[in-house]
Structure 1
Amino acid sequence: MKRIPLMIICLILVALISKAQSGQVKGQLTDSTASHPLADATVALLNGKDSSLAATAFTDKKGGFSFTGLSAGGYRVYITYLGYKPIFKSITVSAAQPVVDMGTIHLQGKGITLGEVEIIQEVPPVVVKKDTLEFNADAFKTRENAVVEDLLKKLPGVTVDKDGVITAQGETVKRVLVDGKPFFGDDPKLATKNLPAEVIDKIQVIDRKSDQAQFTGIDDGNTEKAINITIKKDKKKGVFGKASAGYGTDDRFAVNANANAFRDNRQLSFLGSGNNVNNMGFTMQDVFNFSSSNNGSGGSNGRSGGGGRGAAQSTISNLGGNSTTGITTNWNAGFNYNQDFGSKLKVNGSYFINDVKTETKNQNAKQTFTKDSSYYYNSTTGSLTENKNNRLNMRIEYQIDSFHSVIFTPTFSYTDGNTNSTSYYQQQDINKVTSIDGSNTNTSGATSPNFSGSALYRQKFHKTGRTLSANLTYGYNTTDRQNYYKTLDNYVATDTSSAYSSGYDRKTNANNLGRNYQATITYTEPLMKDRYLELNYSYSNNYSSSKNLTYDASASGKYDVLNDSLSNIFENTFSTNQAGVNIRTNKFKYDYTFGMNVKWNSLVNDNVSRNTHITQNTVNYFPSASFNYNFEQGRRFRFRYNGSTTQPTISQLQPLPDLSSSLYVQQGNPNLKPTFTHSLMAGYNAFNRSSFRGIFVNANATFSNNQIVNANRTDDSTGKQYTKPINTNGVYSLSGSMVNSIPIKNHVTSLNLSTNVSYKRDASFTGEDKDFTDITKYYTRNFSLTEGITFNYFFKELFDVSTSGSVQYAAARYDILPSNNTNYFNYSFSLDFNVNLPAGFQLGSDMTYTLNAGRAAGYNVNYTLLNGYVSKYVGKKKQGQFKVYAYDLLKQNISISRTTGENYIQDTQNMVLQRYFMVSFTYFLRKFGSNNNNNREGPPREMRFMRPPGGGMPGGPPPGGGGQM
């Protein structure tokens, strides 16, 4: 009930502001003869006080335009059209005259001489290109000292979740570039969470093709959703950044600093931070996953019956204030360097180091199905994990001459990790009677250096369209790991005389090595004006070796008794030869590619310990196809199909039982075949640059041959479960998403509707035979439907509010035991607002309410996460800020997830960060070159220049003049 007044106040504020913004400006454009209406002319509405851009419109087929939802005040209207002289008029919207009709406006041809007039360089808020959607950052106002992430949240069709993951046009953004250059490698968060929004000129959402495809012009299917951030020219000569420090209750702390020194052809960036409030600020890469030791009994990661060695699993929901489970203490620092040495050499390099310690506690409730029964498993696990990682990324691009170029991209990382965990668990039969009560303690430590990279040579010939390229990729990694397992299982019986205990105390030394390389040659030849032939050939070789030595503890307590049955040395080599031919046709509105490929696969497995040798050879034929059609500016359809091969992993091939869990024993399979996957993608994007309305639809489908799934069996006498990965067919997945962006009032109010649907059919095998030969195949079907709505409103730099809601329905259907079919729902609502108050004060809050239904007993928990802050700017130029922040005011934060596999359902509740208060101070550094507007609030004004007497514009018409953008 305490939250209701806050929501009412917010709604009243929105209503009052909306009422105040009821003005309208309209008009119609024709030529000087008044006989021809002028369609698609650019009409910019500027604020009268500072000439900042208020809104942009484009005239319709009849030459009409209209701006609605305007507040009272003075405005200036700037109209441009190709081949005509611009018009610049002042108007006033008032309570007495809320609607200003400018009537019919006649544009004069270029031969007319105008007197002296002030011209504003008007930049359109959105430019639609073939594969790029470009947003003008100044058209989307953010609060003072906001970062790129805050700016992205205001863009149509773009969402950013609480963990900083960016989704654009329904696809996850995997790369963020700065002025077209890498920023700390491929980690999007390092750019979006550290660069200030005020230095950004444009945000470009791109369907980025591979370096190879960009060179040849032939789509190779390797595309990804990327964002390119361009820096304002006047911000490329200076230094900017910030430093902050905060301390709070329960010894919570947070410190961070970043500094950027940009020049026209050079970028230098430094960042560093440390905190124990689960604020990562970067994407975890190249770190160990100690999930097996986190859950020695097969709990949280669902390894048994649907995880671990190749089985499919699906986490339907993971809801909470912060999906980072546990309490994490993180220290990191990094340096990024970009420089162009003339027009031929471009160099990028970055180094990043982090140290992450995470304490976790979780409770698991798991139900595993057999042919005619089911078993229950409950566990409580606590762990402490530390991962230290160093990674170095480089990209060197050298343009030898106008016909030859080379791109070299080496990457190096070194990881050192360790974990300690303890689990307590219970195994129950179908009547939920406990049959096993046990515990285990696991300790693991590992180090792993990794080196990889690629070298791409590209050559153009004098004949346009004739190209030759050669690409070499390589990788080398080793992992040295020590695992200590100590388990005690108590077998409970109604007859106490038949109860007994068993356990083991073991150490495993594991040394894994991986080495791979691939060479690809591509040649293109023009067949006619708009048609090209592509020939390609590639060879790849992947070598891996695994040496596992397991020792039992002797009476002396030392691990000196070699366990032959759990020790093994084996080597695996997987090589492929692929040849393909493609035809690409480029037309004005569309392009398409179709071709045929053949792939020869060879797998050689040598079990050194057991002196066995396995050889497998397979051949795959598959077409390749893509089609792109541009209906008109802003509307585009895409289709793509490709095939890919995935080889089994070392753990899936290793013919040893994984005894990290005494109740869920997993064994490898050296007879596994590689999986071949057919992938289809279709997408439709439509964006209206005038109304800002957009719809983005994506559909995906995958069909797998020789998919690796689990075969499962249960020992009825002990309750233990055993799994083994095998190949099967009949596995596929379907998914689709639709995002509908609806502006309500110019660019200050928007409504986003989203729909996500998925259907997946997994397979599993169940039987009683110890050799997994007499087993029966079953299918599991998972369906999920999520509907979401987001409403955003901001009023200049004074006030912004965002609300969102979602409902998710999920269902699982099991052939193995239909009585365990399940349906469940998740509901979520959030509210986020920020207000700028007089005297430099700011007030903000965000609230999330989550409701769960249909889960296991004890996991249907409803909760509210409420955060808030009050801040105060200090200094004449507002270069300092004090802030008081409160997290989880109601102390209700919680993390609950449901995971479904081929033959199991698992609910998990994790320990999360709860209520704390923190006081912090931040200093903002802003030092640029000749710029008179560096320290003002809000976005910089547009550039001004004067039209000299007699017409004529210095340097030609303003960018985009004529409205044809």
Structure 2
Amino acid sequence: MKLFYLFIAALLISANIHAQTGRDVHGTVTDSTKVTLPGSIVRLITATDSISTATDAKGAFLFKGVKAAQFSLVVQSIGFEPVRKRIALNNSNEPVFLRPIILKPSSQMLKEVTISDVLPVKIKEDTVEFNAAAYKVRDGAPIEDVIKKVPGADVDANGNVTFQGKSVTKVRVNGKDFFGGDLKTATQNLPADAVQNVQFVNDYGDQANLTGIKTGEPETVLNINIKASRNHGIFGQVSAGGGQDAIPQVDGTKDAARYIAQGNMFNFDGNRQIAILANYNNTNTNLFNFGGPGGGGGRGGAGGPPGSGNSTNGITTARSIGVNYRDNWSKKLTVYGSYSFTDNTVNTISSTIQKNYGLSGTNATSSTNNEIDKKINQRFTFNMEYRPDTLNYFKISPSYSFAGVHSTQAETFNQTIADTTALAYTTNVISRSSSPNYGINVLYNHRFNNHGRNFSINVGVGRSTTDQYQNPDNIYSKITSAPNTPADQFITTNANTDTVGTFVSYIEPIGKKSYFEVNYNYKHSYTTSNKVTDTLSDSGQLNEYALLSNDYNYTFVTNRFGLNYRFVEKKYNYVLGVTAQPSVLDGSSPNISPTHKTSFNFSPNAHFIYNFSRTQSFSANFSGSSVMPSYTQLQPVPDLSNALYPVIGNPNLNPQYNNTLSLRYNHFNFESGNVFFSNLSFIQADNYIASNTIYYPDNYTPNTHLSKTTGTSYANANGYYSTSAFFVFAKPWEKRKYNLFLVGNYSYSNNISYITDIAPVTFAENTEKNVAKTLTASQGIRFRLDITDVIDAEANTTYSINSSQNSIPQAGVLDNYRSWVVGLNGKNYLFKDWTYSYDYSKTFYYNYPGAKNPNVFNTYLERRFLKGNMATLRFSVLDVFNQNTGYSSTQTGSYTSTTNYNRLGRYYLLTFTYRFSKMAGKAPERGPGRGFGPPGGGPGGPPPGGGPD
């Protein structure tokens, strides 16, 4: 009997030991369609404790060593209703595998549930999405401050954004173009607390979004989605400030007053969105960009310090206003568009030193330039998307832009050969130009009843016009021989380019998962340019100077035929195809015989995407494209607007054809929070349009206007290729309070150019091909410290090299150019309502001639007050050390050039900002045709079901 009791006691002790050891609890989280939900927060709650974890890339979670037999699980995921489950287990120590926990989509924003952390990154086929709530910023800060924190994104001193090493070219709000895609209208004016998430999209165009057939190289587009709670109401801010220069500016002005006034207002009511922006300042703060990728120069806006645009060359007085509008006029018709206007005056003072390398020697030029440009720019864009039914889709997009410039310029040149001044002169130029451009684009898509059958056509027409007048008044001195150009030239140029193009695509399903596409692309471009040069006779009469006048017209026509096969699986899809492109280039001028050039290019194209999960993807893209020579590269008459550097085009050029391969890999790890983004690209060019630098001797009798000049012409060449790579690795700790970033940018190019020396007496030409093998590498390290309402700071350093070796030894020594930048920027939050901001950088240049090593330090102290911190008073000091300088350097196989520019020096600014907000909290009652959220299918706005699934 004793043995029996001992045996029972042993079993009880053993069971108690097992119970104390605990068991592993496994589970998965899915939606109602059984798709797993990575990044969901799962909390295990017992009577005495609670622990949390996040689901992995497969939606799975694990709790190790659970001792309690009864506990609760609370599961939360963004966009889904939270779930609480009560779990009761037996006393076994075996691992437990729970049934999948299913979450239902949320019908409204979660208000009562507090989530300790959010999923910061989602990776889709062509989109990387960042949850704005995961990157904390101060109340009232612009969304630009969030973008600065996301892995893979970089915001430069002028507010231009790159992602994974590529420039962001366009911005959208809720999937629709915002202010014509002008980047900083959104990033520097939309408050971060109004934004749900930001998405970086590899966009292949509207037609690709409709059909699913993606070919060619995409552009990088930023899409900003507004919170539902901020999509009904009015919000915005106004700022006004004044200050004083601390020192005389480079342009000679002393004790100049600095001022800034700007404001923005957003009126959102679901699909109806109105935004108004305005700006008036003399602190280099540009509101819009006309002509550059993604955004304009200068900084400022909602949360950046007004007037901090002292990283822009020159000194600008800017006057800008713009309005953006979007609405659903009915259930079937969506409209959106914008109008932007600027009136800017820019004073730029620069000095340039250029050393030219010839086959038999070198020459050098130095120049100084003082230029005042008065610029008027306008831009109007409008889009109408019409969906008469579920099968048909129309998009009509008219556009208009205007650029007008009135310039006065005073420039001095000095040319030296063998340390002897060969030519020196001054030029006073008055020029005026106006360039209206207008066009319309029409897109139609029809989806047949049969699954995946699709027809699409895109037609566009446009005209760009340039009318220009230029009066260069040249005054020569220290001349070793007679001037090579008339002293007074009056140049009038009238140019027009008319384009018409169409792209047609038809898709036929050949299985449940495969599709066949045939497409055709036609483009016709006709350019006319009439340049008349008049000179001033001794009697004061203007006479046409035929040798410097030109009437050149050319037509470029391409026909592109494509066949593509697309296969779609749940985790991957791909497109395989071939492209054939014949092209014709015809040129004519009274001064030369007509030219007729034909070419034919054939290349495969491929697009492949593999989605490992919502946090990991790989893509590959290969495509071919034709590059048309520009007017400057084609026109055959010497352009002597710059008497020392004439340009002579080559009308016999063939179009260049580029073959491009790009690879991308993105990965976000839920457990560690680590982020790794990378891309690699390779470009190879046939008939590469290479520059030919020509050194003309003194008394060049075939054309005396070219004597003692360094001319530029162009020729086709083979052998060009380039490759580039980018990566970023981000390591966070403590829910992104601490972040370490490693960022690398690398490129290598095999560049082709020509150098031609002409003998002094015989004028025999000696031309040699130069191959410049250039390596550029940039490695950066950033460490961020982000403690909400305490500190938001970053220390960074970047080391860069630029090394080039030329096949022609005389082409200059271009090796071992290096730079090192160290910086510290951030904001310290003091006494709840005070903010101290600092932005310091130190640049070290090595082997860059004429470069300084500036310390640039901008700082401000800010106090917020009134109810809800609606008002802010800020005192700023810009360029504390007064070392802000503009510098650029160019190295090629035929010359090196360095330029220093004036910039806005040290000044003080006191600014008052008032923010206002009146939100409805929910969608008010509305009539037919009004709904919530962007219509269509997200960025790019294709209609639902517009392409094959």
- What TM-score, normalized by structure 2, do the two folds share? 0.82
Classify the secondary structure of the residue corresponding to 2:186.
helix
Summarize the Cα distance change of 1:183–1:321 in structure 2 as closer, same or farther, 3 Å threshold: closer
Among the aligned pairs, what percent are the same residue?
29
What's the CA shift for 1:224?
A: 2.3
Which amino acid letter does the alignment assign opposite residue 896 of structure 1? Y
Q: Give the distance between the partners of 2:805 and 2:164, measured in 1 at CA.
A: 31
**Does residue 1:512 correspond to 2:495, yes or no?**
yes
Summarize the Cα distance change of 1:156–1:644 in structure 2 as closer, same or farther, 3 Å threshold: same
Query: Which of 653, 657, 660 is the matching residue for 2:638?
Result: 657
Q: Give the distance between the partners of 1:789 and 1:55, measured in 2 at CA.
A: 32
* Map of 2:84 onto structure 1: 86
CA contact (8 A) 2:53 2:61 kept: no
What's the CA shift for 1:654?
A: 1.8
* Map of 1:749 onto structure 2: 738
* Map of 2:247 onto structure 1: none
Alignment of 1:757-768 (within 5 A): 757-768=746-757
Query: Which of 522, 535, 539 is the matching residue for 2:522?
Result: 539
CA contact (8 A) 2:285 2:309 kept: no
Classify the secondary structure of the residue corresponding to 1:405.
strand
Query: Which of 357, 365, 372 is the matching residue for 1:369?
Result: 357
Classify the secondary structure of the residue corresponding to 1:666.
coil
* Map of 2:725 onto structure 1: 736
Alignment of 1:363-762 (within 5 A): 363-429=351-417, 431-491=418-478, 504-558=487-541, 560-607=542-589, 609-610=590-591, 612-717=593-698, 719-762=708-751
Q: Give the distance between the partners of 2:781 and 2:52, measured in 1 at CA.
A: 25
Instruction: Give deviations 1:285-314, integer Å, cap 9, x for gaps.
Output: 289xxxxxxxxxxxxxxxxxxxxxxxxxxx
Classify the secondary structure of the residue corresponding to 1:252.
strand
Alignment of 1:915-954 (within 5 A): 915-930=906-921
Query: Which of 165, 168, 174 is the matching residue for 2:169?
Result: 174
Classify the secondary structure of the residue corresponding to 2:711.
strand
Summarize the Cα distance change of 1:681–1:773 in structure 2 as closer, same or farther, 3 Å threshold: farther
**Does residue 1:865 correspond to 2:856, yes or no?**
yes
CA contact (8 A) 2:158 2:309 kept: no
Alignment of 1:154-173 (within 5 A): 154-173=149-168
CA contact (8 A) 2:202 2:218 kept: yes
Which amino acid letter does the alignment assign opposite residue 594 of structure 2? H
* Map of 1:211 onto structure 2: 206
Query: Which of 328, 344, 348 is the matching residue for 1:360?
Result: 348
Q: Give the distance between the partners of 2:53 and 2:737, measured in 1 at CA.
A: 12
CA contact (8 A) 1:865 1:891 kept: yes
Q: Give the distance between the partners of 2:101 and 2:528, measured in 1 at CA.
A: 75
**Does residue 1:330 correspond to 2:330, yes or no?**
no
Q: Give the distance between the partners of 1:751 and 1:535, measured in 2 at CA.
A: 48
Instruction: Give deviations 1:719-777, integer Å, cap 9, x for gaps.
Output: 32222222222222211111111113222221111111111222222233499965222
Summarize the Cα distance change of 1:477–1:59 in structure 2 as closer, same or farther, 3 Å threshold: closer
Which amino acid letter does the alignment assign opposite residue 456 of structure 2? S
* Map of 1:889 onto structure 2: 880
Which amino acid letter does the alignment assign opposite residue 62 of structure 2? G
CA contact (8 A) 1:370 1:817 kept: no
* Map of 1:247 onto structure 2: 242
What's the CA shift for 1:106?
A: 10
Instruction: Give deviations 1:897-930, integer Å, cap 9, x for gaps.
Output: 2112231111111111110000111111111114
Alignment of 1:136-285 (within 5 A): 136-249=131-244, 250-285=256-291
Summarize the Cα distance change of 1:501–1:188 in structure 2 as closer, same or farther, 3 Å threshold: closer
CA contact (8 A) 2:310 2:905 kept: no
What's the CA shift for 1:576?
A: 1.3
CA contact (8 A) 2:42 2:76 kept: no
* Map of 1:789 onto structure 2: 781
Instruction: Give deviations 1:453-482, integer Å, cap 9, x for gaps.
Output: 311110011111111111102210111100
Alignment of 1:27-66 (within 5 A): 34=23, 36-38=25-27, 44=41, 57-58=54-55, 63-64=62-63
Classify the secondary structure of the residue corresponding to 1:472.
strand
Q: Give the distance between the partners of 1:920 and 1:121, measured in 2 at CA.
A: 37
Summarize the Cα distance change of 1:892–1:668 in structure 2 as closer, same or farther, 3 Å threshold: same
- Structure with bigger RCO (C-alpha 8 Å, 6+ apart): 1
Classify the secondary structure of the residue corresponding to 2:189.
coil
Summarize the Cα distance change of 1:840–1:374 in structure 2 as closer, same or farther, 3 Å threshold: same
Q: Give the distance between the partners of 2:597 and 2:176, measured in 1 at CA.
A: 43
Summarize the Cα distance change of 1:838–1:451 in structure 2 as closer, same or farther, 3 Å threshold: same
CA contact (8 A) 1:675 1:707 kept: yes
State how many pairs are aligned: 827
* Map of 2:298 onto structure 1: none
Unaligned 5+ runs, structure 2: 1-18, 30-37, 44-50, 66-71, 88-94, 103-110, 245-255, 294-307, 699-706, 924-949
What's the CA shift for 1:840?
A: 2.2
Summarize the Cα distance change of 1:286–1:511 in structure 2 as closer, same or farther, 3 Å threshold: farther
CA contact (8 A) 1:700 1:735 kept: yes
Which amino acid letter does the alignment assign opposite residue 849 of structure 1? K
What's the CA shift for 1:238?
A: 0.7
What's the CA shift for 1:64?
A: 4.2
Q: Give the distance between the partners of 1:119 and 1:760, measured in 2 at CA.
A: 54
Q: Give the distance between the partners of 1:643 and 1:740, measured in 2 at CA.
A: 31
Classify the secondary structure of the residue corresponding to 1:787.
strand
Which amino acid letter does the alignment assign opposite residue 901 of structure 1? T
CA contact (8 A) 1:605 1:615 kept: yes
CA contact (8 A) 2:24 2:96 kept: no
Alignment of 1:796-807 (within 5 A): 796-807=788-799
Q: Give the distance between the partners of 1:168 and 1:359, measured in 2 at CA.
A: 32
Instruction: Give deviations 1:119-169, integer Å, cap 9, x for gaps.
Output: 547853333333333222222210121001011112222221111111223
Which amino acid letter does the alignment assign opposite residue 58 of structure 1? T
Classify the secondary structure of the residue corresponding to 1:234.
helix
Q: Give the distance between the partners of 2:397 and 2:309, measured in 1 at CA.
A: 38
Which amino acid letter does the alignment assign opposite residue 536 of structure 1? N
What's the CA shift for 1:618?
A: 1.5
CA contact (8 A) 1:654 1:667 kept: yes
Alignment of 1:808-847 (within 5 A): 808-817=800-809, 820-838=813-831, 840-847=833-840
Q: Give the distance between the partners of 1:633 and 1:502, measured in 2 at CA.
A: 65
Summarize the Cα distance change of 1:687–1:59 in structure 2 as closer, same or farther, 3 Å threshold: closer
CA contact (8 A) 1:170 1:739 kept: no
Q: Give the distance between the partners of 1:109 and 1:592, measured in 2 at CA.
A: 32
Which amino acid letter does the alignment assign opposite residue 837 of structure 1? L
Q: Give the distance between the partners of 2:859 and 2:420, measured in 1 at CA.
A: 47
Most deviating of 276-285 and 326-335? 276-285
Summarize the Cα distance change of 1:87–1:328 in structure 2 as closer, same or farther, 3 Å threshold: farther
Which amino acid letter does the alignment assign opposite residue 570 of structure 2? F
Q: Give the distance between the partners of 1:162 and 1:109, measured in 2 at CA.
A: 49
Classify the secondary structure of the residue corresponding to 1:143.
coil
Instruction: Give deviations 1:170-202, integer Å, cap 9, x for gaps.
Output: 332222211111110111111101111111112
Classify the secondary structure of the residue corresponding to 2:880.
coil
